[in-house]
Amino acid sequence: MPELTTVGRWLILVGLGLAAIGGLVWVFGRTGVPFGRLPGDFRFETGNVSCFLPLASMIVLSLLLTLVLNLVLRLLNK
């Protein structure tokens, strides 16, 4: 069983990560970045049925989260 200090440290890091992601979403919303409306985000509408496939937005989000995770892990290993 991990020590409580280790669990506490991980909870703080996760909380800071979520706060950073929330800050990025807020900044993107304020600057007018069309996240969710990028070229490559597909929207299909037929009658009463609509389907939204945010392919390009998810690729950008994946790249950003990979970069942040790599930076955090490099800082923790030093």
DSSP string, the chain: ---HHHHHHHHHHHHHHHHHHHHHHHHHHHHT--TTSSTTEEEEEETTEEEEEEHHHHHHHHHHHHHHHHHHHHHHH-
Q: What is the mean pLDDT of the chain?
A: 87
Reported pTM? 0.58
Tell me the pLDDT tens digit for each residue of 27-59. Answer: 878 887 777 788 999 999 999 999 999 999 889
Amino acid 66: pLDDT: 93
Which pLDDT band, with edges at 50, 70 and 90, does 1 fall under? low
N residues, the chain: 78
